Amino acid sequence: MADVIDTIHFQELSKQDPKDVCRRASCTYDDMNECYILSVWGNEYGISPNQLKINCMSNNTLNLHDYFDLFIIHYLLKSKEIKICNEWISEKDIPGGTTFFRGPHEIPTNLISLQFNNNINEFKERCEQLHGIPLNMADAAYSFKITSQIPVAVLYWRGDDDFPAEAKILYDRTIAEHLASDIIYALAVGICESLRKASCLTKPLNAAVKQKSCKRYG
């Protein structure tokens, strides 16, 4: 799972004081196994800096994209002990976002709009499968708690004869305090991919597409 992560980030995390990391990131630390335990989108992950591993410790029903590994390690490294401000912003409102989030770093929300193709009920069903909380925004919208300090919202608008269906991801204004723009991008890609692939939740296990391996830490 951690193949997308440079080993230097695990090494940096191994040098940090676990008490400080747990205080900042609202996680726990298993002294015996030298492992951080962090809840990400409702699943518990074990992060073992000395073993260069990130393992899912629960059933991983959300089938999260591998880019979440990048998010997890950088969140543990850089998160701050601050409260969310409950103010939604787009990626363009993040400092430097208007220049960064374009071209190769454009958020691929088209994966969401193409997947649901004007089917609002299916979008709602998927979001509820992913533990989303309804919001009174767009034609349909849901908020998700990625971690206790990283809430996001996914908005969906139906298309018509003049405009295609559109999706958008919003973030709490504090996200730039925790994550650099490239990690916010990785998180957003992971959200788009995970929401697009959420249909595997309604299928039998042997019919699910490319379920990601999930092992209990021990």
**pLDDT tens readout for residues 129-175:** 889 999 999 999 999 999 999 999 999 999 988 899 999 999 999 99
Quote the CA–CA distance of 6 and 70 in Å, as a whole number. 9
pLDDT band at 63 (very low <50, low <70, confident <90, very high): low
Quote the CA–CA distance of 30 and 33 in Å, as a whole number. 6
Number of C-beta neighbours around residue 25 at 10 A: 23
The region of weakest confidence among 54-58, 117-121, 144-148, 179-183 is 54-58
Which amino acid, 184?
A: I
Closest Cα to residue 104, out of 182, 215, 217? 182
% of residues, the chain, pLDDT over 90: 77
pLDDT of residue 50: 95
pLDDT of residue 58: 79
% of residues, the chain, pLDDT over 70: 87
pLDDT of residue 196: 83
Quote the CA–CA distance of 83 and 35 in Å, as a whole number. 25
